[in-house]
Structure 1
């Protein structure tokens, strides 16, 4: 009796399955061609680098983050560690301190717009639209008028990778490097100043 009841209940399911259009497996496989690269993109590197999560979360708020996936251009990114960002007196969305606090009230929309502009300036100051670069030159960043330059470390013994023997402006050290399919990511122990 149970078998008959089970057979009766499953009949509608079988008829529904036969009515669905099915795509032959050979067609679906032939149309699919995955994109493969020998190296991960800058976006991939930023995603898996736990010490860069704050920088990447700021960058993802902007259209600039599309550059980290773009394989038609190469970029050099100087990525502050989470510790470096957390130690800032004013966070990137706050922007530089105004010369005089006039107590001016702004709307929430104006505040959001200003915060986004501040983040865009800050992130742009950390991106050089070229890769690879030499670490004995000066390069313009995506922030108009802002350049990044390098200085040799005074007690340089000539050992280790080139990036470990130089500092950025204000003595910011490069503490790591990763190569991606569309550029190079340098982890830094400070931040790049937005001052032009």
Structure 2
């Protein structure tokens, strides 16, 4: 009997694990957190630069097509029909998957991009623009001055600071209107005021003067503009 009981227990656990994997059952916690590779870096003492390998591994694990599929379901549930929205196309736009992944870390941003009734213009920096920054998007020189390099992003309070900095970075690139006319002042999700101008065939975001590489996507609730640099980086 003991042998039969053990066998049944093993079979039950095997079937449960198989079904969980196949159906991709959700975890018990839905709280948004900083991606673990970033947390590892933030907790490391005297370590200011992110290991590019960790960042690339994290990006590769985001499964952008799955995220887009989930957003599409939300759009249809809210009356969006078959028309694609920003959250559908952003994860599939070439060359900006780092920024696209960051937008899914914050409910305020993710909710706006998933809403077919509110238009936005996403100013998405190219991967190379983010990778070439002298410091990372969640780093703030004022934090290092106040708390020191070793403790600025250590522990729960340090991670909270890093998350706020990262959210500020992301929201600075979400303009809460579309269409957006040349010379028209528009506000970002983070509260900054921006305009854009055209010089020949080139478009520049002001007041920073960052060049727009291309307008990559135009969908029912807005557009995706790919930038050659980042905005609001000095704060």
Q: Secondary structure at the match of 1:100?
A: helix
Which residue does the alignment assign to 1:174? 212
The residue correspondences of 1:4-153 to structure 2 (distance < 5 A) are 35=76, 36-38=81-83, 40-63=84-107, 64-94=109-139, 96-98=140-142, 100=145, 103=148, 105=151, 107-144=154-191, 146-153=192-199
TM-score by length of 1: 0.69
Structure with the greater alpha carbon radius of gyration: 1
TM-score by length of 2: 0.58
Take 1:194 and 1:66, find their aligned partners in 2: how far apart are those partners?
A: 24
The residue correspondences of 1:151-170 to structure 2 (distance < 5 A) are 151-153=197-199, 156=200, 164-169=201-206, 170=208
- Which of structures 1 and 2 has the larger relative contact order (alpha carbons within 8 angstroms, sep 6+)? 1
Deviation at 1:50, TM superposition (A): 3.0
Does structure 1 conserve the Cα–Cα contact (< 8 Å) formed by 2:211 and 2:229? yes
Query: How large is the Cα RMSD of the aligned pairs?
Result: 2.2
Q: Which blocks of at least 5 consecutive residues in structure 2 are unaligned?
A: 1-74
Deviation at 1:195, TM superposition (A): 5.5
Q: Secondary structure at the match of 1:174?
A: strand
How many residue pairs end up in the alignment? 151
Take 2:234 and 2:141, find their aligned partners in 1: how far apart are those partners?
A: 12
Take 1:41 and 1:76, find their aligned partners in 2: how far apart are those partners?
A: 11
Does structure 1 conserve the Cα–Cα contact (< 8 Å) formed by 2:151 and 2:158? no
Q: Secondary structure at the match of 2:204?
A: strand
